[in-house]
Structure 1
Amino acid sequence: MTETVTVTSTETVTATATKRSPIRTGAAIPRLLYIPAVVGLALLILPIVGLFLRADWPRVPAAIMSAEAQSALGLSLQTALSSTVLCIIVGVPLALLIARSGSRVAGLLRALTTLPLVMPPLVGGIALLYLLGRNGLVGSGLELAFGIRIPFTTAAVVIAQSFVALPFLVISVEGALRTAGTRFETVAATLGAGRWMVFRRVTLPLIMPGLLAGTVLCFARALGEFGATALFAGNAAGITRTMPLAIYTAFNGAGVSQDSAIALSLLLIVVSIVILFLLRSWRTTPEL
């Protein structure tokens, strides 16, 4: 009896000490691994530091407020917002279909959905041209039947951004759906709720954190899209020249000045940092 009490007390004290004294971060890492870790961190941070040092800060506000920069910024925000809304409309049902399908079907759908993540953006632009171009699979019919031309228009920018950004939203929402499970949906259905009511009153509230995170990632990816947009939508000022294209144009000797290009680059970095902080605040859970 005494031994049992002693063992129990020891286990209690050990558990309490573990809670109060967390394991020191990095205690089990071999010291030699710190060298490549620091090199990798420097590879990620030093280019951004160099950009901040290169900027002519007194001229940054004027560069951002120039007509060319404002045009590119406004077009980028407008198209990124439009493509994000489009991704939500088609991405949430797609994520629900993947999450509620069998393992084989879900694996196939997931692979097809994430294909733009591993596909080079330029290849995506070519694929969109062969689909919606004048001689494309769908584009030729649209032009003959309705006189609609999509390439090299603002709509083409939205489509290109949606093509590369959609996987981010689908992956986030599907993960949230799988984590939530179907228990609450089943209970609601047994109580007489219809499918639409279950979706609106049960499913959507459960996956809202994942949906918000996916929406922010989707918007950030659309805002920084370059390759597919350049090939499918072109680089026309005020029509298809978004911020990434304006930056590229400036460093090739046309369009906005290099000061404006650097200013827009800094603005994109700031937006990315804000997005990271937003994601961290949504995903952080209070410690017990």
Structure 2
Amino acid sequence: MGDPRELVEGRNVTRIEHIADTAGGGLIVTPHGSLTWWSSRLSPIRPALIQLAPDVLVGVDMTDPRRVVSWTAPHADALALLRTLFGNRWHADACAALRQPKPPVTMLAAPPRLPDAWARFALAQGVRRWLPVPVDEATLAIDDALAIHLLGWREQARTEFATVSASLLDRVDGYLRRELPPGMFPDLRAATRAAAELLGSGHPDAADLAASAHQLDAAGPRLPSGRRTGAWPSMPCPALLQEHKARPRRAQRPSACGVPTPPAHPSSSRR
């Protein structure tokens, strides 16, 4: 998406560095009607991108994954998708800004902070795309499944957990053998419980997942040893902190997630 300080409109480049942080950011409307908004407080690293629908993207600060730093939409009607994520008040403000005379840059308040489930999903996508240290793909897939479950997309979460059930069981075994750090416990327990509940008796790993969930409950969280492991302790996905051994990446599925009705698989943009 280029340098967030430069919004290209035909051959004209508008820099938005001068916009006060209190104003939120700058909104550009191209002659074709597409919209792009950038926060005046830029992300210190490349943002994670969530694709809500074709050409509807939301950029998230990976160092503060509840903070939105950009969004794009192909036309004003597509703001209805963003309203589902950002709320009615934001939508009313955005529509009001579009009704004003069109300067090169229209100041528009930043969207509200994302719910935790959306922040987790965005961060998992951003780690897969931008983290310079290789991260185990199976671990990311577990984080994806848990994020999708927390977003309330039960059918898609069931599909994701069915794919990663064996990897999830391996990680539970590793935690119980004290091979994985204590910080993984909350999300590992949440993912195991969700997988056991969603998969039910029709999946070959369902009984093992239910047993593993009970074992985790019985074991409980361990006290940290004081030795910090991992590269990114602030991440809300603890499973990502430990898995730095590269494995072959799975084939990426089409990235088109709809709001509020999810498609086959929500995804980050690959642009």
TM-score (norm 2): 0.25
Relative contact order, higher structure (CA 8 A, sep 6+): 1
**Structure index of larger Rg:** 1
Q: Which protein is richer in strand relative to its size?
A: 2
